[in-house]
Amino acid sequence: MAVGIFDSGLGGLTVLKAVHARLPDLPLVYYGDNAHAPYGVRATQDVYDLTSAAVHGLWEQGCDLVVLACNTASAAALRRMQEAGVPPGKRVLGVFVPLIEALTERQWGDNSPPREVAVKHVALFATPATVASRAFQRELAFRAIGVDVEAQACGGVVDAIEEGDMILAEALVRSHVDALRRKMPQPQAAVLGCTHYPLMQEVFQGALGSDVQVFSQADLVADSLADYLERHPGMTGAGAEHRFVTTGDARRVSDRATQFLRRRITFEAAT
């Protein structure tokens, strides 16, 4: 019984890599909806429908626990799926919680009233859909007060990464950081609110400056998942074989994934 990791494209591979490093014996099924990527420019209902279909597909394949390794999917679909009711024995987790835990230094189970935290000025870099949803700000407000969040929609970055054009991706990141700086000249922390963005983390850090703490999701999600599985050991089973599934061109996606992870990755076509 593997854990499913879902993303609209290849960005979730940063989470898979971190999870595998943290939990090397955990079997994983990675599902990339590459045929419909990127999600960041899609309508909310469209993202919900695509995400819901993928998660149900992973549940049917025996992945009782699915991680939405996609901020846009987490923003548009997670709460709605949970409110609609998750089947008995199934779970779906998002990627905002580990970020907010790290930013506020509060565990998610801490249900005390919101309080002031050390970081007062936060830059959020995310896809247009994630920024428009304000999901990060909404979840943060449950835990912290007095935090000024300035969001920057990073159009084009995911497309460039998916196409393997890292030169264009780097130029776009620098442009988006400049635009953010015009709105918030001195952020204390920056949140990379897309699982593609860890591939550009050094570029973000360089453009922001060494005095800005950059929160990237992959390692935070891996640590959070390890903690969750320790508390819910029944959500995993035996085995160590990984599978990679895509709705896109399996050969092309495999080549891109191999470039990202720098080891041979072979995707199979979704049925």
pLDDT in tens, 33-67: 999 988 988 999 999 999 999 999 999 988 999 99
**Fold match between domain 3-94+218-269 and domain 97-217:** yes
H/E stretch holding 2: none
Q: Domain ranges for the chain, please list them.
A: 3-94+218-269, 97-217
Contact yes or no for 243/30 (Cβ under 8 A):
yes
Contact yes or no for 25/212 (Cβ under 8 A):
no
Contact yes or no for 103/189 (Cβ under 8 A):
yes
Q: Domain 97-217 belongs to what architecture?
A: 3-Layer(aba) Sandwich (3.40)
Helix residue spans in 9-163 (DSSP H): 13-22, 44-60, 71-73, 79-84, 96-104, 128-133, 135-141, 157-162
Distance of CA 262 to the CA centre of its chain: 20
pTM of the model: 0.90
For every one of its 271 residues, what pLDDT tens digit does the chain have, with 9 covering 90 and above?
789 999 999 999 999 999 999 999 899 999 999 999 889 889 999 999 999 999 999 999 889 999 999 999 999 999 999 999 999 999 999 998 888 888 888 875 677 788 899 999 999 999 999 999 999 999 899 889 999 999 999 999 999 998 889 999 999 999 999 999 999 999 999 999 999 999 999 999 999 999 999 998 899 999 999 999 999 888 875 555 789 999 999 999 999 999 888 899 999 999 8
Contact yes or no for 199/260 (Cβ under 8 A):
yes
Q: What is the pLDDT of residue 46?
A: 96
Q: What is the pLDDT of residue 184?
A: 98
Q: What is the CATH number of domain 3-94+218-269?
A: 3.40.50.1860
CA angle 80, 100, 124 (to 5 degrees): 90
Contact yes or no for 39/8 (Cβ under 8 A):
yes
Active-site positions read: 70, 194
Q: What is the pLDDT of residue 260?
A: 86
Q: What are phi and psi of 193, to 5 degrees?
A: -90, 40
Contact yes or no for 157/126 (Cβ under 8 A):
no
